[in-house]
Structure 1
Amino acid sequence: MNLVRSELLKIRTTSTWWLLGIGAFLATALAFAINAWLAHQVLSGNAEDFGVSGEQASAAGQAANLYTSGQYLGLLFVMLIGILMVTNEFFHQTATTTFLTTPRRTSVILSKLGAASLLGFGFWLATTVIDLVAGTIFLTVDGHGTQLGEWPVHRALLLNLLAYAIWTILGVGIGTLIPNQLGAVITAAVLYLVGTQVVQLLFFLLSNWLDSQAVVKWQVVWPAVASQVMISGSSTELTPDWWVGALVLVGYALVSGVFGVLITRRRDIS
């Protein structure tokens, strides 16, 4: 716990957390506005016009979408925090001091993973509170009730928490793979923002070439897509069940954590 507290202190005493926090707040506000407009249209009987069907067309489905607004960019921000927790050691040349103070490198990486998960929880809690307050007001005024007693809403909130925790762990893993801070941040951001669009386009083109809609479901192997699938709650012709996305993300987290520990134990810090 002393190591975890020290990792939290490193983040808390810099401007990193609040700059990313502001970014997460703005992303949440923008996403909520878009999701609120979409929810109004869907619940007003225009679901087919927007390609929304099944559970997502219900009041509970739209409430779950509202209460998890901002997840897409929010996960990017917590991933960057995980990356910075590792790369800051090399950027500020404190890695040698850290590992001399705590020679057991595995303990250091595990403490970073633990601290990153706590920060992910903090970001999830802050964005969820904003979404819950704004969402309950919007749904009540729109005449659909808060829907807070529905299981799809509870499931979306819990799985959203899991997504935030996992993406901070992925960030730590990326930081151990690419110790250069600028390189790690740019690579991760490009893969997340641009790579996701490229992967979705490739699977769409592949499905047309093979004349099979089922191929599109395999885009869930990309972690950003898996996050979206996980909190969706229901499968469609283009997406698998939510638990498939959850398994994919957990798999990435386990692999990232193990590789992070192994690489750090063998790396020459001097």
Structure 2
Amino acid sequence: MNLVRSELLKIRTTSTWWWLGIGALLSIALAFVFNAWVVNETLSGNGESLGVTGEQATPAAQAANLYTSGQYLGLMFVMLIGILMVTNEFFHQTATTTFLATPRRTSVILGKLVAASLLGFAFWLVTTVIDLAAGALFLSLNDHGTLLGEWTVHRALLFNLLAYAIWTVLGVGIGTLITNQLGAVITAAVLYLIGTQVVGLLFLLLANWLDTMSVIKWQVIWPAAASQIMISGGESEMTPAWWVGALVLVGYALLSGVAGVLITRRRDIS
């Protein structure tokens, strides 16, 4: 717990988390406006024109989407926090001091993983409270009810929490793999923002080539896509069941955590 507290202190006493927090709030505002428009159109019977069909067109599924607004960019921000928790040690040349103070490197990385997960929980809590307040007001004013009693909404909120925790863990894993701070941040951001779009396009082209839209379901192997699918309201022709996304994301988290520990234990720190 001393290691966890020290990691939280390192983040809390810098301005980094403020900037990332502001970015997360701005992403919520933009995403909420867009999702509110999609909800209004879908529940008015225009869902097919937006590509929203099947279980995803139900009021509960749309409410779940609204109550998790801002997840896409929010996950990137918590991933960057996880990266900075590791790369800051090398950027500010404090890695040697850290590992001399705590020779058990596994304990250091586990401390960073736990601290990262707690920060992910904090980001989730703040964003969820904002989404719940704004979403309940929007749905009530449009005579849809809050829909907060639906299991689909509860599941989306819980798995959104899991996504925030996992992406901070992924960030720590990336930081152990690429210790150069600028290189790690740029690589991760590009893969997340541009890589996700490229993967989606590739699967769409493959689906057209094979003349079957079910191929698009396989984009769940990409972690950013798995996060979105995990909190979706249900299965459709182009998206697998929510539990598939959850399993994929948990797998990435376990792989990232184990890799982070093994790499750090073998790395020469000088």
Band the TM-score falls in, shorter-chain normalisation: over 0.9
1:81-92 to 2 correspondence within 5 Å?
Answer: 81-92=81-92
Distance 2:214 2:52 in 1: 18
Larger mean CA deviation between 257-266 and 230-239 belongs to 230-239
Residue 101 of structure 1 and its aligned partner are, at CA, apart by 0.1
Q: What letter is aligned with 2:235? A: S
> Which residue in 2 is equivalent to 1:8?
8
Q: What letter is aligned with 2:144? A: H
Q: What letter is aligned with 1:234? A: G
> Which residue in 2 is equivalent to 1:46?
46
> Which residue in 2 is equivalent to 1:111?
111
Distance 2:33 2:213 in 1: 31
> Which residue in 2 is equivalent to 1:23?
23
> Which residue in 1 is equivalent to 2:77?
77
Residue 143 of structure 1 aligns to a residue whose secondary structure is coil
Residue 212 of structure 1 and its aligned partner are, at CA, apart by 2.3
| Alpha carbons 2:56, 2:235 under 8 Å: kept | no
> Which residue in 1 is equivalent to 2:241?
241
> Which residue in 2 is equivalent to 1:195?
195
Residue 239 of structure 1 aligns to a residue whose secondary structure is coil
Residue 236 of structure 2 aligns to a residue whose secondary structure is coil
Distance 1:148 1:199 in 2: 33
> Which residue in 1 is equivalent to 2:125?
125
Distance 2:211 2:41 in 1: 32
Residue 150 of structure 1 and its aligned partner are, at CA, apart by 0.5
Unaligned 5+ runs, structure 2:
none
Residue 234 of structure 2 aligns to a residue whose secondary structure is coil
1:137-216 to 2 correspondence within 5 Å?
Answer: 137-216=137-216
How far does the alpha carbon of each residue in 1:180-234 deviate from its partner, in whole angstroms, 9 at most, with x for none?
A: 0000000000000000011111111111222222221111100000001100031
Q: What letter is aligned with 2:18? A: W
Distance 2:229 2:38 in 1: 18
Distance 2:10 2:95 in 1: 13
Distance 2:49 2:182 in 1: 43
Residue 53 of structure 1 and its aligned partner are, at CA, apart by 1.6
Larger mean CA deviation between 178-187 and 195-204 belongs to 195-204
Distance 2:226 2:195 in 1: 13
What is the aligned-residue RMSD (CA, Å)?
0.7
> Which residue in 1 is equivalent to 2:225?
225
Q: What letter is aligned with 2:68? A: T
Residue 54 of structure 1 and its aligned partner are, at CA, apart by 2.1
Q: What letter is aligned with 1:154? A: H
Larger mean CA deviation between 54-63 and 260-269 belongs to 54-63
How far does the alpha carbon of each residue in 1:63-97 deviate from its partner, in whole angstroms, 9 at most, with x for none?
A: 10110000000000000000000000000000000
Unaligned 5+ runs, structure 1:
none
| Alpha carbons 2:55, 2:236 under 8 Å: kept | no
Distance 2:220 2:80 in 1: 22
Distance 2:212 2:141 in 1: 42
Q: What letter is aligned with 1:258? A: V
Residue 231 of structure 2 aligns to a residue whose secondary structure is helix
TM-score by length of 1: 0.99
TM-score by length of 2: 0.99
> Which residue in 1 is equivalent to 2:250?
250
Residue 109 of structure 1 and its aligned partner are, at CA, apart by 0.1
Larger mean CA deviation between 229-238 and 169-178 belongs to 229-238
> Which residue in 2 is equivalent to 1:135?
135
Q: What letter is aligned with 2:106? A: T
Q: What letter is aligned with 1:143? A: D
Distance 1:29 1:213 in 2: 32
Larger mean CA deviation between 162-171 and 52-61 belongs to 52-61
Distance 1:147 1:233 in 2: 13
